[in-house]
Structure 1
């Protein structure tokens, strides 16, 4: 590799940009499709903890910048920090393209690529779950069902 990997996942969501932006900024919505608990909203300068209680894991997220209804820039996982950027691009007919990019993967080339691949799959799942919730009112529980107990690795 000549540079660390970067991953981007994106999804068109057929809802207005303000509603889609709030789905990621407001944990009252995000906990319905991604993590199970958050210590606060994604807003400029905030440091919040996200919990996935079903897996017994959590991470700290530091918000670097927010452009309302347009962009969220954050860093997560203080032990091996990477940068996250959400872009919310308004489209015709009250549609929004959500683009999530993660950069800064570290470790050996094999480790960085493995982390990037895992992240890409995770963000794709999160975007699908968000789309189902906002467009259809369906709680997919995709993140909670991704690694069910009793099935091994």
Structure 2
């Protein structure tokens, strides 16, 4: 039986939906709490932007497929695979395909915003499974960092990765 590799993480952020959306779409704001090496380019339909992380070698492109302001962002980025026989030391290596990330933003009746992030599109290989676990961890950290930054002005990732 085949298993589709995908996941979804979610968090409630105690801020209005527009403020939460802008904290993701605006590269200056995203760089304050998530992209530890900086983000270049606003998330807009059809754009290719660049994200850089201190814990990942080099900046990489992010392809923006769709943006509906205050509702949804759909992007693609290069898939990685790791822990496979052709990759030494368990390191991740770029694969020849992309995964799709869908972020949704929903204003809740009691004031906060529900942010959901789903990623899918990995091949059904042990290396892709390992990569999906890493990305699930990364997006969970992103939501925690977003919440801490917007609600309390704290950058959780500062000093975490060098």
Deviation at 1:92, TM superposition (A): 2.2
Contact 1:37 1:53 in 2 (8 A): no
Residues 52-97 of structure 1 deviation map (CA, whole Å, 9 limit, x = unaligned): 1454332211111111100001111274410010000110232101
Residues 8-66 of structure 1 deviation map (CA, whole Å, 9 limit, x = unaligned): 11110000000000011001111111112222000011001111145433221111111
Equivalent residue runs for 1:4-153 within 5 Å: 4-35=4-35, 36-53=37-54, 55-77=56-78, 79-106=96-123, 108=125, 110-141=126-157, 145=160, 148=161
Q: Flag as ranges the 4+ runs of structure 1 deviating above 4 A.
A: none
Contact 1:69 1:88 in 2 (8 A): yes
For 1:99 and 1:54, the matched residues in 2 are separated by 24
Q: TM-score, normalised by structure 1?
A: 0.87
For 1:104 and 1:60, the matched residues in 2 are separated by 17
Name the stretch that deviates more: 3-12 or 15-24: 3-12
For 1:30 and 1:95, the matched residues in 2 are separated by 19
**Uncovered stretches (5+) of structure 1, i.e. residues with no partner:** none
Contact 1:74 1:85 in 2 (8 A): yes
Q: CA RMSD in A?
A: 1.8
For 2:110 and 2:54, the matched residues in 1 are separated by 37
Deviation at 1:140, TM superposition (A): 1.1
Residues 92-144 of structure 1 deviation map (CA, whole Å, 9 limit, x = unaligned): 23210100000001262x112111111111110110000000001111116x5
For 2:124 and 2:58, the matched residues in 1 are separated by 21
For 2:124 and 2:50, the matched residues in 1 are separated by 24
**Uncovered stretches (5+) of structure 2, i.e. residues with no partner:** 80-95
